[in-house]
A and B are shown apart, each in its own frame.
Chain A
Amino acid sequence: MTLPPYADLLGITLETAPEGLGEGAPVLAMPFGGDVIGRPGFVHGGALAGLLEMAAIVALKHALEGEARAGTRIKPINVTVDFMRGGREKVTRAQGIVSRLGTRIANVETIAWQDDRERPVAAARLNFLLADS
Chain B
Amino acid sequence: MDPVPFPFDPAAFFAALPAGHGRRLGIRYDSHGPDWCQLVLPWREDLVGDPARGVIASGPIVALLDMATSVAVWMKRGGFLPHATLDLRVDYLRPAAPGREVVGRGECYRVTRSVAFVRGIAHDGDAADPVAHVAGTFMFTGVPA
Q: Mark contacts of B81-116 with chain A using CB atoms, 8 A cut-off: 1 yes-contact digit, 0 otherwise.
A: 000111111111001000000000000000000000
Chain A positions near chain B (C-beta within 8 angstroms): 4-6, 8-10, 34-38, 44-47, 49-51, 53-54, 75-83, 86
Docked pose: A118 CA to B123 CA in angstroms: 37
Docked pose: A81 CA to B90 CA in angstroms: 9
Docked pose: A131 CA to B90 CA in angstroms: 21
Tell me which of A47, A76, A86 contacts B84 (CB under 8 A): A86
Q: Is the CB of B21 within 8 A of A5?
A: no
Q: Mark contacts of B55-72 with chain A using CB atoms, 8 A cut-off: 1 yes-contact digit, 0 otherwise.
A: 011111011101100000
Q: Is the CB of A5 within 8 A of B87?
A: no
Closest Cβ of chain A to B60, distance in Å, is 7
Contacts of A82 in B (CB 8 A): 86-87
* Residue B125 lies at the interface, judged by CB distance under 8 Å to chain A: no
Docked pose: A47 CA to B87 CA in angstroms: 14
Q: Is the CB of A34 within 8 A of B63?
A: no
Known contacts A35-B21, A38-B20, A82-B87, A76 near B92 by CB under 8 Å: yes
Docked pose: A46 CA to B87 CA in angstroms: 11
Q: Look across to chain A and name the residue whose beta carbon is closest to the beta carbon of B25.
A: A46
Q: Is the CB of A36 within 8 A of B90?
A: no
Q: Is the CB of B66 within 8 A of A49?
A: yes
Which stretch (B2-10, B28-36, B45-53) binds chain A? B45-53
Q: Look across to chain A and name the residue whose beta carbon is closest to the beta carbon of B95.
A: A75
Closest Cβ of chain A to B16, distance in Å, is 14
Contacts of B62 in A (CB 8 A): 46, 49-50, 53, 79, 81
Q: Is the CB of B90 within 8 A of A34?
A: no
Contacts of A6 in B (CB 8 A): 46-49, 56-57, 59-60
Q: Is the CB of A46 within 8 A of B89?
A: no
Q: Look across to chain A and name the residue whose beta carbon is closest to the beta carbon of B90.
A: A79
Contacts of B89 in A (CB 8 A): 78-81
Q: Is the CB of A9 within 8 A of B58?
A: no
Q: Is the CB of A78 within 8 A of B86?
A: no
Docked pose: A8 CA to B44 CA in angstroms: 13
Contacts of A38 in B (CB 8 A): 20-22
* Residue B19 lies at the interface, judged by CB distance under 8 Å to chain A: yes
Contacts of B24 in A (CB 8 A): 9, 34-36
Closest Cβ of chain B to A130, distance in Å, is 15
With most chain A CB atoms within 10 A of its CB, the pick from B45, B51, B67, B92 is: B92
Known contacts A6-B47, A34-B20, A81-B87, A50 near B60 by CB under 8 Å: yes
Q: Look across to chain A and name the residue whose beta carbon is closest to the beta carbon of B24.
A: A35
Tell me which of B63, B91, B92 contacts A50 (CB under 8 A): B63
